[in-house]
Amino acid sequence: MTVVARILLQALPAPSPSPTPAFGTNLISVAFFCSTMIWGPAIVAAVIAVLPNPRGRYNDAFRWIALVPTAFLLVVNLIVYSNFQTFGTALQFEEKYAWLPALGVSYHLGLDGLGMAVLVLSSFIGSAAVVASWNVRTRVRAYFALLLLLQAAINGVIVSQDAFLFALFMTATILPAGLLLLGWGGPNRMRASARLIGYWGVGAVALWFGVLLLYGSTGGVGFDLAVLLRATPPLAAQITACVALLIAACCWLPIVPFHGWARDALAEAPPGVAVLLVGATRLGGYLLLRIVISGEHNAAVKLGSTMAGLAAATALYAGVLAIAEIRARGDLRRAAATIALVPGAVTLLAVAGETPMAFDGAIFTLYAGGLAAALLVGAFATLAERAETRSLAVLGGVGLRAPILFWIAILGALAVLGFPGFASYLAGIMTVIGSIRNEPGGTFGVLAGLILAAGAVAALLWRVGFAPPTGERALATETDIPQRLYLSGLVVALIWVGVLPSGPKVAGVPIFDPGFVNVMNATTSTQADAYSVPVKP
DSSP 80-104: HHHH--TT--S-EEEEEEEEETTTT
Q: Which residues contact 50 (CB under 8 A, 6 or more apart)?
A: none
Q: Average of pLDDT values for 188-201?
A: 96
Residue 19 and residue 87 in contact, taking contact as beta carbons nearer than 8 Å:
yes
Q: How many CB atoms lie within 10 A of CB 234?
A: 10
Each residue's pLDDT tens digit, 325-367: 999 888 999 999 999 999 999 999 999 999 889 999 999 999 9
Q: How far is CA 102 from CA 107, 128, 219, 231, 334, in A?
A: 13, 41, 14, 20, 48
Give the whole-angstrom CA distance, residue 229 versus residue 242: 12
> CB within 8 A of 327, min separation 6: which ones?
459
What would the pLDDT profile of 142-154 be if each residue is shown by its tens digit?
999 999 999 999 9
> Cα(210)–Cα(240) distance, rounded to whole angstroms?
7
Rounded Cα distance, 153 and 144, in Å? 14
Nearest to 134 by CA among 37, 280, 275: 275
Output the pLDDT for position 532: 63
Name the residue type at position 353: G
CA atoms within a 13 Å half-sphere pointing along the CA-CB vector of 403: 1
Q: How many CB atoms lie within 10 A of CB 462?
A: 13
Q: Are 457 and 88 in contact (CB under 8 A)?
A: no
Beta-ladder partners of 106? 98
Report residue 72's pLDDT band, with 50, 70 and 90 as the boundaries: very high
Predicted local confidence at residue 17, as pLDDT: 41
Distance (Å, rounded) from C-alpha 174 to C-alpha 191? 15
CA 435 to mean position of chain CA atoms: 20
Handedness of CA 221, 225, 230, 233 (dihedral sign): positive
| Interatomic CA distance for residues 246 and 206, integer angstroms | 8
The pLDDT score that the predictor gives to residue 20 is 45
7-64 pLDDT tens trace: 334 444 444 443 444 444 444 456 689 999 999 999 999 999 998 888 778 888 999 9
The alpha-carbon radius of gyration of the chain (Å, integer) is: 22
Phi, psi of 105 (to 5 degrees): -100, 130
Can you say whether residue 391 is alpha, beta or left, with left for phi > 0 and alpha for psi between -120 and 50 degrees? beta
Dump the DSSP string for 169-236. Answer: HHHHTHHHHHHHHHHH--TTHHHHHHHHHHHHHHHHHHHHHHHHHHHHHTTS---BHHHHTT----HH
Q: Which phi and psi angles does 94 have, rounded to 5°?
A: -85, 140
> Which residues are within 8 A (CB) of 16 and not within 5 positions of it... i.e. 6 or more apart?
86, 87, 502, 510, 514, 515, 518
The length of the chain in residues reads: 537
User: Do 166 and 110 touch, CB atoms closer than 8 A?
Assistant: no
505-506/509-510 β-pairing: antiparallel
| Proportion of the chain above pLDDT 70, given as a percent | 90
Is the pLDDT reported for residue 466 higher than 70? yes
Say yes or no to pLDDT of 3 above 70.
Answer: no
Give 490-515 pLDDT, tens digit per residue: 999 999 999 999 888 776 777 788 88
What amino acid occupies position 318? A
pLDDT beyond 80 at 474? no
Query: Cβ distance 379 to 409 under 8 Å?
Result: yes
